C-alpha cells in the first residue's frame, strides 16, 4: 500500500478580481503518494498551472485559497501546509520539502548570476553551511553528468540541455520529497526533451527526488514517466487513473476525446484517426452549469446539464466524475 505524501482536500483557488472571480481550481481533491510520478494533463485554461501554485503554496493575490486544505507529510507527520504563512512556506517547504522546476526551466536562471550563487542562497535561506552545500552541489553535478567546474560559471555559458541538468541539480540538492514540474519541456526541442526526462528519472532512481508531479498539455511526453494521470477540465478533475488504464480504457468522454486528439508518428494513430470535439473549453469566470463538459459531450444526458458529477471510483485504480458511470444514468 502506497504511503501518502500529500493530500489535497476540496481545494478551491480563485483569482479574485474586483468584479468577478476566475475559478481556476474549483473543488479539487486527490493524493500524491511517496515515490510516484503523477501527471496532470489538460488544455490551456483548465487550471493545472494554478494547481501547481496551490500545491507549492505559492499563493499570491489575486490568487486566493477560497476553500479546502492541503496536507503534507513532513518528518513523518502530516502538517496543514495551506495554513502556513508565506515566511513559514519559504523556510520549511521551498527547496527543502518541495521544489519547482518551472516552465522553460533552462531560462529560469538569471544570466548574470553564477550558478554557485544559487547554492549559496539556498544555504542561507535554510541556515545551512555554504561550503558543505557547495560540495553537495558539486557531487550532484557530477551525478547528472556535468563537470562540477560549471558551478562557477554563468548559465549562458552552458548549452540548453546542460542548463536543464544544472537547474534540476540545483533545485534538488536538498533532496525534496516532491518535485513539481510545470510544463518543463514545452519550449524544448525533442532531443532536449528526452534529456530532461532522462535526468529526472535518473534522479528518481537515485532517491534524490522522491515524488514528481508533472503538469503538462503534452500527453505523449508525460506518459513516458507517469505512474498515474490526473485529467483536468475547466478547474475540475474529471478522471484519475493509472497510466496503463488510462491509455487502454479512458472512462471520461473528455479523456477519450483528448487522448484521441494526440498525434504522434505511430501507425496506430493513422488507424485510430483524430477525435473531433465540437466547441472549446469554457472560461473559468462563468463555467457551464452541471458538468462543465456537457455542452461538448457526445453522451450528454439531462442530468449532466443540471448537476455536477462527483469524482468516484469506477474500477480499481480509476476514478471518474461522470454520470455515465453512476446510478443517474438514464
Partner 1 sequence: MKNVSFEVKEGEIVSLVGESGSGKTTTAKMILRLIHPTGGRIIFEGKDIWKELKDHESIKEFRRKVHAIFQDPFASYNPFYPVERTLWQAVNLLEKKPSNKKEALELIKESLVRVGIDPKDILGKYPHQISGGQKQRIMIARCWILRPLLIVADEPTSMIDASSRGGIIQLLEELREEQGTSIIFITHDLGLAYYVSDNIFVMKDGEIVERGHPDKVVLEPTHEYSKVLVESIPKLYRKLEGL
Task: For residue 259, give Cα distances in angstroms to 2, 9, 37, 73, 168.
Answer: 27, 27, 19, 33, 29
Q: How far is the CB of 189 from partner 1 (least distance, A)?
A: 5
Looking at the Cβ atoms of 122 and 234, the one nearer to partner 1 is 234
Cβ–Cβ < 8 Å for 5, 177: yes
The answer to whether 81 and 70 have CB atoms below 8 angstroms apart is yes
Residues 6+ apart with CB under 8 A from 182: 48, 49, 52, 100, 101, 102, 103, 215, 216
The alpha helices in 147-282, defined as continuous H runs, are: 160-171, 190-205, 219-222, 243-248, 253-259, 267-272
| Shortest Cβ 86–partner 1 spacing (Å) | 34
Cα–Cα dist 174/184, whole Å: 20
Cell of residue 138, nine digits: 558539486
Smallest distance, Å, CB 307 to partner 1? 23
Contacts of 165 (CB under 8 A, 6+ apart): 144, 145, 146, 195, 199
**Residue 17 or 274 with smaller CB distance to partner 1:** 274
Q: Using CB under 8 A as the criterion, which residues of the chain lie in contact with partner 1 when the complex forms?
A: 43-45, 189-191, 193-194, 197-198, 201, 217-221, 223-225, 247, 254, 257-270, 274-281, 296
From the CB of 117, what's the least distance to partner 1, in Å? 31
Phi, psi dihedral angles at 80 (to 5 degrees): -85, 90
Q: Which residue lies nearer to partner 1 by CB, 44 or 330?
A: 44
Q: Which residue number, 3 or 104, has a Cβ lying nearer to partner 1?
A: 104
The nearer residue to partner 1, 29 or 202, going by C-beta atoms, is: 202
Q: Which of 284, 287, 140 is nearest to 207 (CA)?
A: 140
SS3 53: helix
CB of 270 to partner 1, least distance (A): 6
Q: Which three cell numbers stand for residue 293?
A: 463538459
Nearest distance from C-beta of residue 227 to partner 1, angstroms: 13
Nearer to partner 1, 201 or 300 (CB): 201
Q: Distance between CA atoms of 240 and 40, rounded to whole angstroms?
A: 9
Nearer to partner 1, 56 or 185 (CB): 185
CB 220 to partner 1: min, Å: 4
Amino acid at each position: 500500500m502506497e504511503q501518502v505524501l500529500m493530500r489535497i482536500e476540496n481545494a478551491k483557488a480563485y483569482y479574485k478580481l474586483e468584479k468577478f472571480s476566475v475559478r481556476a481550481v474549483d473543488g479539487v481533491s486527490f493524493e500524491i503518494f511517496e515515490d510516484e510520478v503523477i501527471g496532470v494533463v489538460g488544455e490551456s485554461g483548465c487550471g493545472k498551472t494554478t494547481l501547481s501554485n496551490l500545491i507549492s503554496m505559492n499563493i499570491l493575490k489575486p490568487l486566493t485559497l477560497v476553500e479546502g486544505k492541503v496536507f503534507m507529510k513532513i518528518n513523518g507527520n502530516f502538517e496543514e501546509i495551506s495554513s502556513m504563512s508565506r515566511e513559514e512556506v519559504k523556510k520549511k517547504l521551498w527547496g527543502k520539502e518541495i521544489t519547482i522546476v518551472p516552465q522553460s526551466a533552462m531560462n529560469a536562471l538569471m544570466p548574470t548570476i553564477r550558478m554557485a550563487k544559487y547554492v549559496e542562497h539556498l544555504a542561507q535561506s535554510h541556515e545551512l553551511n555554504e561550503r558543505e552545500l557547495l560540495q553537495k552541489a558539486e557531487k550532484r553535478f557530477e551525478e547528472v553528468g556535468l563537470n562540477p567546474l560549471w558551478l562557477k560559471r554563468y548559465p549562458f555559458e552552458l548549452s540548453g540541455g546542460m542548463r536543464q541538468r544544472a537547474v534540476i541539480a540545483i533545485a534538488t540538492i536538498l533532496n525534496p520529497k516532491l518535485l513539481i514540474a510545470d510544463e518543463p519541456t514545452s519550449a524544448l526541442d525533442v532531443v532536449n526533451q528526452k534529456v530532461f526526462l532522462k535526468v529526472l528519472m535518473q534522479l528518481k532512481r537515485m532517491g534524490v527526488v522522491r515524488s514528481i508531479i508533472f503538469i503538462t498539455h503534452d500527453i505523449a511526453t508525460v506518459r513516458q514517466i507517469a505512474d498515474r494521470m490526473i485529467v483536468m477540465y475547466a478547474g475540475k478533475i474529471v478522471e484519475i487513473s493509472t497510466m496503463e488504464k488510462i491509455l487502454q480504457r479512458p472512462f471520461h468522454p473528455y479523456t477519450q476525446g483528448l487522448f484521441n486528439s494526440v498525434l504522434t508518428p505511430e501507425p496506430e494513430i493513422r488507424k485510430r484517426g483524430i477525435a473531433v470535439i465540437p466547441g472549446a473549453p469554457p472560461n473559468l469566470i462563468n463555467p457551464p452549469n452541471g458538468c462543465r463538459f456537457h455542452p461538448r459531450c457526445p453522451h450528454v444526458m439531462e442530468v449532466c446539464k443540471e448537476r455536477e458529477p462527483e469524482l468516484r471510483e469506477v474500477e480499481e485504480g480509476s476514478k471518474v466524475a461522470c454520470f455515465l458511470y453512476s446510478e443517474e444514468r438514464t
